[in-house]
A and B are shown apart, each in its own frame.
Chain A
Amino acid sequence: AQTVTQSQPEMSVQEAETVTLSCTYDTSESDYYLFWYKQPPSRQMILVIRQEAYKQQNATENRFSVNFQKAAKSFSLKISDSQLGDAAMYFCAYRSGSEKLVFGKGTKLTVNP
C-alpha cells in the first residue's frame, strides 16, 4: 500500500525567511499525483500546490514551490518570504489513478514575527 511520510511534526520559521517541509512517499506506480494541502487553525483545508509525476518541471505557485525528486520519492515544499498567514498544518498527499488520496500526518508550521 502507498504511504506518505512527513518526518517533521513541527517546524518554525521567521517572518520573511524561507522554510522547507519534507515529504517522502512509497509507491510502485510510475504515474501519480502529489499534493500539498494547508489547514490553518480552525479554517478549511485548501490545496496549495500539486505535481504530476510525469512532469519533470517542479510546480510553483507564487511563494510556494516544490522540489520533486521522483527517483528518491521525495516531494518537499518550499515557502519563500514566509508570512504570518502561512502558519498552519501542512499535509502532503499522494494519489495514483483512481485510487484514494493518501495523506501524511502533517507538519505544523509556526511563523515567528
Chain B
Amino acid sequence: ETGVTQTPRHLVMGMTNKKSLKCEQHLGHNAMYWYKQSAKKPLELMFVYNFKEQTENNSVPSRFSPECPNSSHLFLHLHTLQPEDSALYLCASSQVTSYYEQYFGPGTRLTVT
C-alpha cells in the first residue's frame, strides 16, 4: 500500500467501550498527526509526533490517548468517550523538514452511542 492508511474506516462504540484507531504511513515521513473533523467546524489538531516523540497536545481530553511506537505507525486509544466525540478522525504525516506539506489518510468515521 502507498500513502497514509487508517483502520478501521468506520467505528461505532458505546460510551463505556475501549477501542483503538490505527494509522500507518508508507511515505518515509518522520512526523505524524491526529486531527478531529466535525461538521461545520475547522479541522482541529489533536496531537503531533516528531520522530516518535509527542511534540504537541492541544488540550485534548485524557479519554484520547495517542501512541507512536515508530515513525510509521500512530494509534489513538479511545475510552469512555462522549457522544460529542463523534467525528471523522484524520491521520496525517509529513517530512519533518517539510513540516508544512502534510499527507492525509482517509479517516475513521467514529460514532459514539
Q: Which residues of A contact B (CB under 8 A)?
A: 4, 9, 33, 35, 37, 42-47, 50, 91, 95, 98, 100-106
Q: Knowing A100-B45, A100-B56, say if A105 contacts B102 (CB, 8 Å).
A: no
**In contact, B42 and A102 (Cβ under 8 angstroms):** yes
**In contact, B106 and A43 (Cβ under 8 angstroms):** yes
A-B contact pairs, 27 of them (CB 8 A): A9-B40, A33-B100, A35-B100, A42-B106, A43-B106, A44-B104, A44-B106, A45-B104, A46-B104, A47-B102, A47-B103, A50-B101, A91-B43, A95-B99, A95-B100, A100-B45, A100-B48, A100-B58, A101-B45, A102-B42, A103-B42, A103-B43, A104-B42, A105-B40, A105-B41, A105-B42, A106-B42
What 1/0 flags go to B85-113 for Cβ under 8 Å of A?
00000100000000111111111000000
Q: Which residue of A lies closest to B94 (CB)?
A: A101
A68 to B48, CA, bound (A): 29
Q: Which residue of B lies closest to A5 (CB)?
A: B42
Residue among B42, B104, B106 with the highest chain A CB neighbour number at 10 A: B42
Total number of A-B contacts with CB less than 8 angstroms? 42
Residues in chain A near residue B101, CB distance under 8 A: 47, 50
B14 interface residue (CB < 8 Å to A): no
Residues in chain A near residue B41, CB distance under 8 A: 105
**In contact, B42 and A4 (Cβ under 8 angstroms):** yes
A35 to B43, CA, bound (A): 14
Q: Which residue of B lies closest to A52 (CB)?
A: B100
Q: Which residue of A lies closest to B96 (CB)?
A: A98
Nearest-neighbour CB distance to chain B for A60, whole angstroms, equals 17
A102 to B44, CA, bound (A): 8
A34 to B106, CA, bound (A): 22
